[in-house]
Structure 1
Amino acid sequence: MVTGLSCPFLCLERDAPCVHHFNMDIRGYRCMNLQQSNAYRMYLLYMGVTATLFALFSTVATVYRIREVGLDAVELLWVGFALEISCFLFEIPTGVVADLHSRKRSLVIGLVLIGTGFLLEGSVPTFLAVIGAQVLWGIGYTFLSGADQAWIADELQTNRLEGVYLRGAQVAQLFTLVGMGVGTFLAVFSLPLPLMVSGGLYIAFALFVALVFPETRFTPVSDRSQNTWNAMWGTFFAGLKVVRRSSVLLTVLGIGLFHGLYSEGFDRLYTLHFLENFQFPQWVEAPEVVWIGAIDACAMVINILVVEWIRRRLESTGRLEKMGVLLVINILLVASIFAFAVAGAFWMALAAYWLTYILRGTNQPIYNAWINEQIRESRLRATILSTQGQVHALGEIFGGPLVGAIVWKTSALWGLIASSAILAPAVFLYLFLRKRAGESQCFRGLNRKDGGQSM
């Protein structure tokens, strides 16, 4: 027997012998067969291609809407509203395709719709065309949402998918940077060009998925086409019923709502704020679209490094005082958004924006872990998390018009200040939870002390 060697194939399940070495007893994971290995490679290809094509589009899209289409702050917020409401309305109905008919078919439809939307936006520079593109994009996104993960789960036939999803996320991060670079390069020649190239490649990739991607393990579920809306709202109200019994979980929903409300305004207005209110440095003669692309790419790299540092610290220490960290992050986030809005110079605005980007990227994984810790009953976990996601989505839907009402007679600067103010109540909710946690620990300490004296 030969031991101590590692299998060159991706392994899936622990405590099963490796089958890829003759006469070797290498224990640890059950390895993929060739069919599964092919599906895994296709999944990584899918993650890389879609990340590249989306970054190719999104890096330039807002600059295109401002400079080529001529959208103002209110119109940009309506664009975001059209996208968010489309995603919300079609999330459940489009899931029927993936569950009843085919995961792969759902992926193909989604890719075609997104590509068509991007082509429409890039080729017709009008407000109505941009709105129509958001609707197509939003519906297309809902066809992809969950179908890609469900497809690879079906093909690999294993419960141990954490490593697969993590590797897919790493591939997506790397190729997002590639897409940012390519999109910025193409935009130097023509602002609509990256949008149309991205859209065309989305449709071409849909054809590739239809012809090449395997689908050998799919089993249709029982008919869920009826009452899908009732099921969604049933989950929502069931989650609220559970949450109402816990002041902590109710406060968590409030925090999620305020994060949804503020984020839509910030995401739609930060590029407009850079372009309208600041002069890019003259020592580098580069188009403004190159500056925007470079700013976002640098922010993403810094965020990846910071999140990785936090992950390693958590692994080494085994703990992280999440509520205290989240409180500090949200205080700094309110301050950094406000500082970005009122900054008097480009470098001050750049520093404030980068800090905001890093804080948002750091907040999400810690927040997700903290929410899971608050849910004591595992059987209710999915219901509560689904409800939290729906509350956040509603916040994004209504956040755009709320900030839009403020910028209607003012400017993007005031919209960003409003976004900062909208997030501020989340800080007070964290303070409320921290105070309750302190009182509970104090109460338990007094009980132990009294118990010790009585013995």
Structure 2
Amino acid sequence: MHRLFLGLLIIGPVLTPYLRSKGFVYTEIMLLQSISAVSLVVFEMPTGIVADRVSRRLSLFLSGACIAAGLVVYILAARFATLAVGEVMISIGLTFRSGADAAFLHESLARLGREQEYRQIEGRAISWIFIGQSIGTFACSALYEWDKDLPFWLSVGAASLAAAVVLLFTEPQRDKADRPYISHVLHSFGVALGSPALRWTLVLVAIMGFTTRVGFWLYEPYFVAVEIPILWYGPIFGVFNIIAALSARFLAHRWGNAPLAMLFMLLLCGLTFLLPALFVSAWSITIISLQQIVRAAYKPTLGAWVNGHVTDDVRATMHSIFGSVAALAFSVVSPLIGLRLDGAGAIPTYALMGMGVCAAAVLLGLWLRLSRRWTRSG
């Protein structure tokens, strides 16, 4: 239910139009997202420590509370600086959840002797998010046309309910980290950098981090380029979420070798940018919709892979490290994407993203081929 309520944050289809209605250009919008991403990097480690050393349940409760408060600031803000404060608050909420939910699930399953079911159950849980989003996004555009703030107020309520339902959770017994804060973080980084498998994964996470996040912010510019009315944004996102929900429920746990699966997802993302740039049409949204398969399958695949390479005392912090890497990569790239959108337009930006991501997938594939020993364990 926690993830279902988080899924009822229905602002996605109208977020970019909402910001543009406040007078911001793409460069400013993407700069806001860069600030948000830097906030994720700054707070990812401390919030991961809270989950590892204090309570996963407390971490998840604070997640919903911070997101709700940040959305209120977002609604009331009229200036860039105030919006940035709202972005930071939402980012803090996201960091409280990023490591805690995956670790909470893994440890609950481990106590039941069912940890091998992680990907299947994580995929099912993610599908609840997409189901929740599907419920709201179909009506989101109509609500936005009626009152621009209404989808955001409804999302405040959903985030508050997500925080409240966590109070019903029972936290399993587990090993807790007993190192000092700095020592714990350095130890976790050492684990990540000391493993050939995790080093490769860190690079992939960086590329996938900006690819999937930039993909979301490129939807609206493409819709504008092919002249799709805002009223249709909600139904389109609703279909996107249905694809994601089905993928999470039926595909997320079926990938075999995890590194190869994640590499395929990266290549698929590249093609969903490149092909719409070559075939500019409203029908190319069907190609863009394939990003939803990656959106659904990537997290459980990555989570299971990372969980298999770390121990309980660093698990949430390790997930936070990977979240930080993804956010930092996005924070660097997003302002450049905004400048590209304002300067060249949506289609050239799609072409650039497609070529860059496909090239990165090829290079990572070559690295993977040279590292066969550890890939066999995926």
TM range (shorter): 0.7 to 0.9
Structure 2 partner of 1:183: 140
Identity %: 21
Structure 1 residues 172 and 228: CA distance shift in structure 2, 3 A = same
Structure 1 residues 387 and 187: CA distance shift in structure 2, 3 A = closer
Structure 2 partner of 1:213: 168
- C-alpha separation between the residues in 1 aligned to 2:245 and 2:160? 30
**2:84 corresponds to which of 125, 131, 142:** 131
Structure 1 partner of 2:159: 202
Structure 2 partner of 1:33: none
Structure 2 partner of 1:76: 29
TM-score with structure 1 setting the length: 0.66
- C-alpha separation between the residues in 2 aligned to 1:192 and 1:106? 28
**1:429 corresponds to which of 346, 349, 363:** 363
Structure 1 partner of 2:16: 62
Native 8 Å contact 2:258 2:305 kept in 1: yes
Gaps of 5+ in 2: 374-378
The yes-or-no answer on 1:302 pairing with 2:236 is: no
- C-alpha separation between the residues in 2 aligned to 1:191 and 1:83? 22
Structure 1 residues 136 and 324: CA distance shift in structure 2, 3 A = closer
After superposition, the CA RMSD in angstroms is: 4.2
Higher Cα radius of gyration: 1
Native 8 Å contact 2:226 2:282 kept in 1: yes
- C-alpha separation between the residues in 2 aligned to 1:273 and 1:183? 19
**2:344 corresponds to which of 410, 423, 427:** 410
Native 8 Å contact 2:26 2:339 kept in 1: no
1:189 Cα deviation after fit: 0.9
Structure 2 partner of 1:278: 226
Structure 1 partner of 2:212: 263
Aligned letter for 1:291? W
Secondary structure of the corresponding residue to residue 24 of structure 2: coil
- C-alpha separation between the residues in 2 aligned to 1:412 and 1:389? 27
Aligned letter for 2:351? I
- More off after superposition, 125-134 vs 96-105: 96-105
1:84 Cα deviation after fit: 1.5
Native 8 Å contact 1:236 1:387 kept in 2: yes
Secondary structure of the corresponding residue to residue 71 of structure 1: coil
Secondary structure of the corresponding residue to residue 191 of structure 1: coil
- C-alpha separation between the residues in 2 aligned to 1:109 and 1:120? 17
- C-alpha separation between the residues in 2 aligned to 1:298 and 1:214? 31
- C-alpha separation between the residues in 1 aligned to 2:304 and 2:104? 26
- C-alpha separation between the residues in 1 aligned to 2:367 and 2:108? 43
Aligned letter for 1:213? L
Gaps of 5+ in 1: 1-43, 281-287, 440-455
Structure 1 partner of 2:282: 346
TM-score with structure 2 setting the length: 0.77
**1:398 corresponds to which of 328, 332, 336:** 332
- C-alpha separation between the residues in 2 aligned to 1:149 and 1:323? 19
Aligned letter for 2:337? V
Structure 1 residues 372 and 420: CA distance shift in structure 2, 3 A = farther
Structure 1 residues 394 and 229: CA distance shift in structure 2, 3 A = farther
Higher RCO (Cα < 8 Å, 6 or more apart):
2
- C-alpha separation between the residues in 2 aligned to 1:132 and 1:195? 16
**1:419 corresponds to which of 344, 349, 353:** 353
1:139 Cα deviation after fit: 1.1
Secondary structure of the corresponding residue to residue 409 of structure 1: helix
State how 1:164-175 maps to structure 2 within 5 Å: 168-175=125-132
Structure 1 residues 231 and 420: CA distance shift in structure 2, 3 A = farther
Aligned letter for 1:47? R
The yes-or-no answer on 1:228 pairing with 2:228 is: no
Structure 1 residues 150 and 320: CA distance shift in structure 2, 3 A = closer
- C-alpha separation between the residues in 2 aligned to 1:203 and 1:180? 19
- C-alpha separation between the residues in 2 aligned to 1:400 and 1:75? 10
- C-alpha separation between the residues in 1 aligned to 2:176 and 2:294? 41
1:79 Cα deviation after fit: 1.9
Native 8 Å contact 1:100 1:220 kept in 2: no
Aligned letter for 2:4? G
Native 8 Å contact 1:262 1:399 kept in 2: no
- C-alpha separation between the residues in 2 aligned to 1:422 and 1:121? 33
Aligned letter for 2:217? R
1:103 Cα deviation after fit: 5.0
Aligned letter for 2:239? C
1:345 Cα deviation after fit: 2.3
- C-alpha separation between the residues in 2 aligned to 1:134 and 1:361? 24
